[in-house]
C-alpha cells in the first residue's frame, strides 16, 4: 500500500519475515489503523443484525477480504492475523466483528441501493433480462452516475508509439495488406462484446500470442497479424482491474464511501467478467447487449476505448478502440501458419 511505501522506511517485516522491504510501525503511526477502522465500520456483527437479515449475505471478515477486497495477497487465516494486528484496539473492543459472521445493513435498504448501487435495487440478471427483452436503449436498471464514479477509478493511459496487434484469418501465405487490417467498414461490422452491428471499432491485443488465441483459427489456417502503432496518447477504461479498485484510493480520489463501494463489489466483478467472456457457438448475439450498453456509455463520456482480460490466453489483454482510424496506423504485417492447437479440459459431471 502507498501508506507503507510513503513512509520510506526499509527493514525486516515482523509479519511475513521479508528482509529489507518497506515497513510500517503500527505503534508510531495510526494512519493505517484509521483507514481500516473506517472500512470495518461498513460491517455489522451477526448478533446486531435484524433476524430477517439473509444468512447468505453474511460471512466472516477474513473471507470477505479474501474474496472481495483486493487489498491483501494473503490466505484468509493470514488476513485475520494482519487485520487484528492493524486494528488491535477495535479487536479488543469488538472481537465479535472479527470472529463471527458480519453483514452490511445497507445491502437490504432499497432506498440506499436505489441511490448508491450501480444496479439500484436490481440484480445483474434483472438488467440482462430488461435490456434484452424490455427496454434496450433506455433501461433504468443502471445508475450511470454511480457507474461513472467507478469507471473513472480505472482510467488507463497508453502512450503514443505503443504497439498492439490484430489477427485476421486469410486464405493463403500472401495474407492481407496493411490497408486491409483495420476495423471493418460499418456495413460489415458485426456484433461484438463492445460494439453492436453496424458500428465499427478495432479489436486489438497486447501481444502476437494473445491475438492468435483470440482469433481461434484452426490447424493449418493462415493468419495475418497486423502491428498497430498508436499515433497519440489514448485514455481507456481498464475493465481488467474494475473489480480490484482499492477502497482507499476510490475514497480519496472519487469520494466513494466504503459502504457504497462494498455494496457494488459484486456488480463490478460481474461487469469485468462479462466483458471478457467469449461468445460460444450456441450463444445469441443478444448476450453481448449488456456489455455493449456499458461500453457505449463509456464511449459517450469521451474515452477512447476499453481494455479487458483475454480468456483465450492467460495473462493476455485485449483492447477495443472506438475512433480507431484517427488513433492507430498499421505499420506492418506478418503471415503465420497455425501448426497445432492445444486443448485443456475440465470435467463438469
Question: Do both 174 and 58 map to the same domain?
Answer: no
Backbone angles phi, psi at 26, to 5 degrees: -70, -25
Question: Do both 213 and 275 map to the same domain?
Answer: yes
Question: Do both 329 and 259 map to the same domain?
Answer: yes
pLDDT at position 14 over 90: no
Q: Find out whether 306 and 298 touch, Cβ atoms under 8 Å.
A: yes
Question: Do both 214 and 294 map to the same domain?
Answer: yes
* Domain-located, residue 314: yes
Question: What's the CA gap between 211 and 206, in Å, rounded?
Answer: 8
- Report the residue count for the chain: 349
Q: Is the pTM of this model over 0.75?
A: yes
pLDDT at position 15 over 70: no
- Give the tens place of pLDDT for each residue, 93-108: 999 999 999 999 999 9
- Confidence (pLDDT) at 285: 82
- Coil, strand or helix at 259: helix
CA distances to 55, 199, 239 from 128, rounded to whole Å, are: 26, 21, 18
pLDDT tier, 5 (very low <50, low <70, confident <90, very high otherwise): low
* Domain-located, residue 144: no
- Confidence (pLDDT) at 270: 93
* Domain-located, residue 333: yes
pLDDT at position 22 over 80: no
Print the domain residue range for 7. 2-104
- 315 versus 12: the higher-pLDDT residue is 315
pLDDT at position 225 over 70: yes
Q: Find out whether 320 and 296 touch, Cβ atoms under 8 Å.
A: no
In terms of Cβ atoms closer than 10 Å to its own Cβ (0-12, 13-18, 19+), residue 162 is: middle
Question: Do both 9 and 80 map to the same domain?
Answer: yes
Q: Which of 69, 104, 139 is the endpoint of a domain?
A: 104
* Domain-located, residue 121: no
Question: Do both 93 and 166 map to the same domain?
Answer: no
Question: Do both 219 and 331 map to the same domain?
Answer: yes
* Domain-located, residue 119: no
Q: Which of 79, 104, 129 is the endpoint of a domain?
A: 104
Percent of the chain with pLDDT over 70: 92
- Give the tens place of pLDDT for each residue, 135-166: 988 999 999 999 999 999 999 999 999 999 99
Give the CA radius of gyration of the chain: 23
Question: Do both 89 and 225 map to the same domain?
Answer: no
The dihedral formed by the CA atoms of 102, 108, 113 and 114, expressed in degrees to the nearest 10: 180
Q: Which of 28-37, 114-123, 133-142, 310-319 has the lowest mean pLDDT?
A: 28-37
- Give the tens place of pLDDT for each residue, 46-75: 999 999 999 999 999 999 999 999 899 999
Q: Which residues of 17-52 are buried (b: 16+ CB within 10 A; e: fewer)?
A: eeeeebebeeeeeeebbebbeebbebbbbbeebeee
pLDDT at position 13 over 80: no
In terms of Cβ atoms closer than 10 Å to its own Cβ (0-12, 13-18, 19+), residue 315 is: exposed
Question: Do both 71 and 211 map to the same domain?
Answer: no
* Domain-located, residue 116: no
Q: How many domains are there within the chain?
A: 2
Amino acid at each position: 500500500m502507498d501508506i507503507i511505501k510513503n513512509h520510506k522506511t526499509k527493514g525486516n517485516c515482523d509479519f511475513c519475515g521479508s528482509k529489507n522491504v518497506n515497513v510500517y510501525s503500527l505503534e508510531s503511526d495510526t494512519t493505517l489503523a484509521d483507514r481500516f477502522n473506517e472500512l470495518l465500520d461498513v460491517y455489522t456483527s451477526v448478533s446486531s443484525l435484524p433476524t430477517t437479515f439473509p444468512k447468505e449475505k453474511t460471512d466472516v471478515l477474513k473471507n470477505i477480504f479474501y474474496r472481495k477486497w483486493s487489498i491483501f495477497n494473503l490466505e484468509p487465516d493470514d488476513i485475520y492475523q494482519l487485520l487484528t494486528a492493524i486494528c488491535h484496539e477495535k479487536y479488543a473492543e469488538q472481537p465479535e466483528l472479527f470472529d463471527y459472521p458480519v453483514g452490511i445493513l445497507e445491502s437490504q435498504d432499497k432506498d440506499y441501493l436505489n441511490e448508491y448501487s450501480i444496479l439500484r435495487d436490481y440484480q445483474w440478471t434483472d438488467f440482462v433480462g430488461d435490456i434484452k427483452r424490455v427496454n434496450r436503449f433506455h433501461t433504468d436498471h443502471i445508475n450511470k452516475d454511480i457507474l461513472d464514479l467507478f469507471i473513472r477509478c480505472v482510467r488507463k493511459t497508453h502512450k503514443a508509439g505503443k504497439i498492439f496487434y490484430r489477427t485476421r484469418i486469410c486464405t493463403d501465405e500472401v495474407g492481407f495488406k496493411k490497408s486491409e487490417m483495420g476495423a471493418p467498414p460499418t456495413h460489415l461490422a458485426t456484433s461484438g462484446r463492445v460494439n453492436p452491428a453496424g458500428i465499427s471499432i478495432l479489436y486489438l491485443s497486447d501481444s502476437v500470442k494473445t491475438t492468435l488465441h483470440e482469433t481461434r483459427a484452426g490447424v493449418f489456417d493462415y493468419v495475418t497479424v497486423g502491428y498497430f502503432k498508436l499515433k497519440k496518447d489514448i485514455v481507456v477504461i481498464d475493465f481488467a482491474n474494475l473489480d480490484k479498485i482499492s477502497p482507499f484510493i476510490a475514497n480519496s480520489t472519487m469520494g466513494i464511501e466504503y459502504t457504497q463501494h462494498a455494496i457494488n463489489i459484486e456488480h463490478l466483478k460481474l461487469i469485468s467478467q462479462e466483458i471478457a467472456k467469449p461468445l460460444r457457438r450456441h450463444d445469441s448475439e443478444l448476450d453481448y447487449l449488456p456489455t455493449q450498453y456499458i461500453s457505449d456509455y463509456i464511449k459517450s463520456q469521451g474515452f477512447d476505448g476499453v481494455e479487458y482480460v483475454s480468456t483465450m490466453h492467460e495473462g493476455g489483454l485485449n483492447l477495443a478502440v472506438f475512433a480507431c482510424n484517427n488513433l492507430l496506423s498499421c505499420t506492418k504485417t506478418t503471415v503465420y501458419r497455425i501448426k497445432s492447437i492445444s486443448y485443456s479440459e475440465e470435467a463438469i459431471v
